[in-house]
Structures are given as structure tokens and as C-alpha cells.
Amino acid sequence: MDNHTYDIVIIGGGATGLGSAVDAASRGYKTLLIEQHDFGKGTSSRSTKLVHGGVRYLAQGNIKLVREALAERGRLLKNAPLMTSTQPFVVPVFSLWEKFYYSAGLMLYDLLSGKLSLGKTRLLSRKKTLELLPNINPQKVAGGILYYDGQFNDAELCIELANTAERYGATVLNYTKAVGFIKENGVIVGVELEDMLGAAVSGGEVAGSGDVARESDGDSGELAREPIRKKVSCKCVINATGVFTDAVLQMDDPNADTLVYPSQGIHLVVEPKFFRGDNAMMIPKTDDGRVLFAVPWQGKVVVGTTDTHVDHIDLEPMPLAEEIHFVLEHFNRYTNASITKEDVLSVFVGLRPLVKSADSTISSILSRDHTLVVSQSRLVTITGGKWTTYRKMAEDAVNNAVFVAKLDGAGSGSASGAASGAKKCITKDLPIGDLGAARELAAQLIAADSSMAAFMTPAYPAYAIRVVDVVVAARCKYVRTVEDFLARRNRLLFLDARAAITLAPSVATILQKELNWTNEEREAQLQSFILLAQQYIIH
Ligand SMILES: Cc1cc2nc3c(=O)[nH]c(=O)nc-3n(C[C@H](O)[C@H](O)[C@H](O)COP(=O)(O)OP(=O)(O)OC[C@H]3O[C@@H](n4cnc5c(N)ncnc54)[C@H](O)[C@@H]3O)c2cc1C
């Protein structure tokens, strides 16, 4: 066992887990967060990138959920101003009734955001709608409604949350998996961890160490790894593992009920020539009741999404042919474009951790609210919700962890954080990020060696990645693999998978030096990335 005891161990390095680490560490608890792969590798890098209240939940009458999400939207934009922005949306309408119905809903949506409004909802004439959405199919358009929501880079925010948690003293480890619980009298007192890279991981106190034999197995590009196991003791564990929630619940109790109903959503990324301008389009109700978005993001356009129940849970879910067909078909129907699979630069897929309900099996109407369960072993499980509400989910999870583990020595009080002497949650106004540390390091590196400022390859001038960007990502943004950089520090894999493959050798060469890889390791890294990137291309 590790020789110190954590107050709280958090399993899962997505929005919910990283938010919980920030919350717990900033309250002053000794905190460890472990993520089996890279931070954000799960659902949290695969969202539509919207910081939103969820307009469509208004139609389900869930005003409380929308109001809470709108408050969180406002807080996130305030606490992470450099990582978020305001995005105008246009909803085209095709009848007077639609204009009345959607404008009433979107006015209410804005009203519910109160002082945290991002801009006034406005009714648009047909002429103005066509002007704001230059690529819309004009047929039958009767007008539109303009409203505002937030936008962000989800994977970037994951890393900034990890940085923030570390700033408050947490240990955050990627590539570290929880593989078992240690119990005394049925109560969890420790976690068994496995280092998934089979070698030392950066920074943390519990990182594995020592020389581990690494050999290439030749064909697959994967390296044979020797697992390093380690045990840590703790007073409480938070299970924030998204669609993997049930696996962790059952690691605690093989007979535990399952909670999660995974629902897959895909996004297609296309060039902006197919959807010009700065405004996003939202179609609230397609033929089968789904929502369709086309949103400008990082110089491209993200089109999606779907809501398909799946039984198989994977860190790299695959798009279904019918999902691709649905998105292409509907984008072409509502715009004057006629894109085909060949026009798609990247397809990315995520799994929503929806929470099962006894009376509904249609995933598009399952609750998007979050659920918290405390097991007999005192395992605190938090799941459901959405990116936008991660902070509130984290607050609830930590309140419950504090309560069940009596972290403040309090036997009284309640899980809402009212225990006497309980350390209060401070994240409502907490600035998120490394406070400029990465930028400063980049400036120092360039001052010492001007070749650091060079762009990596002229092949894709649109994707100007400098040598220094990779070096800084390795030194202070937890990059361990080529994929970490090209998928989640820089978003090239999600924006243009073919370009990411082209740039991968240069990234691998810089990381080889930074992370002391052998030639064999560099090659294995490269091959494994290229194999993965093929899944983001529609063949
Ligand atoms: C298609 C789609 C679009 C969406 N769009 C939006 C949007 O625009 N705005 C919005 O607010 N929300 C959106 N959401 C919802 C949002 O993305 C999710 O609710 C959120 O990312 C879930 O975060 P999480 O931390 O709970 O799960 P995850 O991000 O999946 O994190 C869980 C992590 O746990 C790790 N893990 C699992 N088991 C272990 C273990 N044993 N040991 C260590 N680590 C483990 C996994 O590797 C994973 O990284 C969208 C979701 C989808 C699917």
C-alpha cells in the first residue's frame, strides 16, 4: 500500500471526474484522480462542444433542469473565459405555428438564464434568416429565430481542469486504471491501480516507477507492456466513469444493479464552404424527432448528432452506417449542399451515459439529469448529466463523499454539505486553468531556441502546429502518446483525420525526444495512431 491515505480517490478523468477533483482539492481534501486512458478519452472529448441549457428539455417541461444548466453555462463562461465563447444559433421555421412555438420556447430559454443571458432571442424575417444562414435550403423557410448558447473545446477544458486540480494539490494520473477495491468490514479503504503504459507516469506520488521491459511484438504496432500494480488507501471513492459506471459498480459488488443506458451520438466534420458564416443552425425536430446541429467550430463545421442505443461499450465507439446516412441526408435536406461521405474530414463518436428509467426505453427522451448513488461500501457513484453541468455534478458528488466518509469528522449534517465544519464548495467562482503556465513555458523555450517556433510541416498550412506546441503539451499537459496530442491537445484528428495522419510522424519525432522513446517505441506509437485515425475516416 502507498504510505499515505487520500481523503478522496476519484475514478474517471472525464468532465465529471476532473470536475470532482477540482472541487475536492479546492476544498482542501487530499485528492487522487485516476484515468485509465488519457484525460477526456471517453465521452468528454466527443461532445457537440456546446455549453448549453438544453433547449429541447424545455419541450419536455423540465424547467428546473434547464434553469440549472443555464446557470452552469453562465458560470463556465465566466470562470473559463479563454476557453469558451458565445455562439449565435438560428432555428429556421417552416410555418407560422413553428415560429410562434419555437420563439415562445427560446424567449423562455433566455428568460431562464436571467442575469447570465448571452444575448436576446430575436424573431427573424425570412429574408434575414436566409442572410444569416447563407447555405440554407430556402424552400419553405418562413423565417427564423436567433438565440445564443456557449461553445467550447471539450478536450482542452479537461486538461485545464486537471491543471486546476493539480494547482490545488491534487494528484492527477492518466493511464492509470482502477482494477479492484480493498475493503475492511465491507467498506472501501483502498483502490488497486494498474499503470496502463507499463512504465512510470508523470508527476504523481503514486506513479509506477522502475525499469520495465518494453518489447515490440512486431505486427500490431502495439508494445508488449508489463503491468505495474499499486495500492493506495483512501477514505472514500467517487465513481465518475461515464458509460463505464456499471463495470465499476460491479467491481464493488458483482450483484449491483446496472444504471447506465448508453446512447451513441456521431458527428461529421466538413469544410466551411458547405455551411458558410458564423451562425450555427439548429433544427429542433427532424422527421424522427431528433435534433440536428450544424455548428462552426475551429475553422470547420460540426454536423450531428444521433441518439442510438448501443449495447457495446468501447472507448472508441464506431459510427453505424445508418447514423452516417441520417446526418448526411438531413444536412443535405436542410441546406443547399449535397455532401457525400468523401466530403467528410472526420467522423467522431461518443456514448452518452444516460441513466436508465423504469418507464422509458427511448434514449432521446431519457432524463439528461444526473444521478447519484451511494453503495453499501460507501462508493459514491455519479453519472448522467452533461458537460455543461459538470461543476454541479462534482459539487453533489463531493458533498456526498464528505458526508459518507465523515471527512470533516462530522456525524451530523446532510449530504448537501451542511455538516458542521464541512469545507464549503468554492467552484462557483473558481477560475479554471493553469493561469498562463503553458504560455510562459512556450515563450521561454522559444527565447532559448528559436527553432522551437518553427511550424512542423508545410503540407497543411491551415493546421499550423509549432514544435513548441508539442513540447509544451508533453511537459505540462500530460501528453503520453501521439494520439493524446493529435486527438485531444490539438484537435486535428477530430477536424481532419487525413491531415492528422500526415502530421503524425513529425509529432512522433518530437515526442520521442521529449519522452525518451526508443526507435521501436516511436514506430509503435505511430502505427497505433495511424490505425486509430483510419476509424475517423469514412471509407
Ligand atoms: C454525441 C454527444 C454529444 C454531446 N454534446 C454535449 C454538448 O454539446 N454539451 C454538453 O453539455 N454535453 C454534451 N454531451 C454530454 C457530455 O459529453 C457527457 O455528459 C460528459 O462528457 C460525460 O462525462 P463523464 O466524465 O461522466 O464521462 P467520460 O467523459 O466518459 O469519462 C469517464 C472516464 O472514466 C474512465 N474510466 C472508466 N473506467 C475506469 C477505471 N476502471 N479506472 C480509471 N478510469 C476509468 C474512462 O476512460 C473515461 O475517460 C454529449 C454527449 C454525446 C455522446
pLDDT tens, position by position, for the chain (539 residues)? 556 799 999 999 999 999 999 999 999 999 999 999 999 999 999 999 999 998 888 888 889 999 999 999 999 999 999 999 999 999 999 999 999 999 999 999 999 999 999 999 999 999 999 999 999 999 989 999 999 999 999 999 999 999 999 999 999 999 999 999 999 999 999 999 999 987 543 444 443 333 222 233 334 445 556 678 999 999 999 999 999 999 999 999 999 999 999 999 999 999 999 999 999 999 998 877 788 999 999 999 999 999 999 999 999 999 999 999 999 999 999 999 999 999 999 999 999 999 986 554 444 444 558 899 999 999 999 999 999 999 999 999 999 999 999 998 644 445 554 445 668 999 999 999 988 999 999 999 999 999 999 988 766 767 889 999 999 999 999 999 999 999 999 999 999 999 999 999 999 999 999 999 999 999 999 999 999 999 999 99
Q: Are residues 146 and 13 in the same domain?
A: no
Q: Are 165 and 157 in contact (CB under 8 A)?
A: no
> Is 70 a member of any domain?
no
CA of 188 to the centre of ligand 1 (A): 24
CA of 424 to the centre of ligand 1 (A): 26
CA of 266 to the centre of ligand 1 (A): 14
Q: Are residues 401 and 530 in the same domain?
A: no
Q: Are residues 163 and 106 in the same domain?
A: no
Q: Are residues 253 and 277 in the same domain?
A: no
Q: How far apart are the C-alpha atoms of 508 and 295, rounded to whole Å?
A: 31
> Is 59 a member of any domain?
no
Q: Cell match 449565435: residue?
A: 88
Of 462, 455, 465, 513, nearest to 485 by C-alpha is: 465
> Is 133 a member of any domain?
yes
Pocket test for ligand 1, best of 149, 172, 290, 386 (most atoms within 8 A of CB): 386
Q: How far apart are the C-alpha atoms of 57 and 67, rounded to whole Å?
A: 10
The pLDDT score that the predictor gives to residue 228 is 86
Return the CATH number at 255. 3.50.50.60
Pocket test for ligand 1, best of 22, 43, 239 (most atoms within 8 A of CB): 43
The minimum-distance atom of ligand 1 relative to the CA of 385 is 19
Q: How far apart are the C-alpha atoms of 108 and 121, rounded to whole Å?
A: 9
Q: Are residues 164 and 243 in the same domain?
A: yes
Q: Are residues 177 and 325 in the same domain?
A: no
Q: In sequence order, what are the beta bridge partners of 303?
A: 268, 294
The pLDDT score that the predictor gives to residue 420 is 53
Of 320, 354, 388, the one marking the end of a domain is 354
Q: Are residues 284 and 412 in the same domain?
A: no
Which residue has its alpha carbon closest to ligand 1 atom 15? 386
The pLDDT score that the predictor gives to residue 1 is 53
Q: Name the pTM for this structure.
A: 0.93
Q: Are residues 332 and 374 in the same domain?
A: no
The minimum-distance atom of ligand 1 relative to the CA of 179 is 41
Of 314, 332, 354, the one marking the end of a domain is 354
CA of 241 to the centre of ligand 1 (A): 7
Pocket test for ligand 1, best of 151, 159, 244 (most atoms within 8 A of CB): 244
The pLDDT score that the predictor gives to residue 411 is 45
Of 403, 429, 455, the one marking the end of a domain is 429
> Is 539 a member of any domain?
no
Q: How far apart are the C-alpha atoms of 488 and 203, rounded to whole Å?
A: 20
> Is 58 a member of any domain?
no
Return the CATH number at 280. 3.30.9.10
> Is 71 a member of any domain?
no
> Is 362 a member of any domain?
no
Is there an atom of ligand 1 within 6 Å of 317 CB? no
Q: How far apart are the C-alpha atoms of 140 and 127, rounded to whole Å?
A: 12
Q: Are residues 201 and 282 in the same domain?
A: no
Q: Are residues 98 and 243 in the same domain?
A: no
The pLDDT score that the predictor gives to residue 112 is 96
CA of 385 to the centre of ligand 1 (A): 10
Q: Give the number of domains in the chain.
A: 3
Counting runs of H as helices and runs of E as strands, what totals does the chain give? Answer: 15, 20
Q: How many residues are recorded in the chain?
A: 539
The pLDDT score that the predictor gives to residue 364 is 46
Which residue has its alpha carbon closest to ligand 1 atom 27? 242
Of 132, 498, 530, nearest to 343 by C-alpha is: 498
For residue 377, count other CB atoms closer than 10 A to its CB. Answer: 18
Q: Are residues 522 and 441 in the same domain?
A: yes
The pLDDT score that the predictor gives to residue 480 is 97
Is there an atom of ligand 1 within 6 Å of 371 CB? no
Q: Are 281 and 294 in contact (CB under 8 A)?
A: yes
Domain of 317, in residue numbers: 76-150+261-354
Is there an atom of ligand 1 within 6 Å of 160 CB? no
Q: How far apart are the C-alpha atoms of 134 and 343, rounded to whole Å?
A: 19
Q: How far is CA 100 from CA 107, 127, 260, in A?
A: 11, 18, 37
Is there an atom of ligand 1 within 6 Å of 74 CB? no
Q: How far apart are the C-alpha atoms of 539 and 536, rounded to whole Å?
A: 9
Q: Are residues 490 and 404 in the same domain?
A: no
> Is 139 a member of any domain?
yes
For residue 304, count other CB atoms closer than 10 A to its CB. Answer: 27
Pocket test for ligand 1, best of 47, 152, 245, 480 (most atoms within 8 A of CB): 47
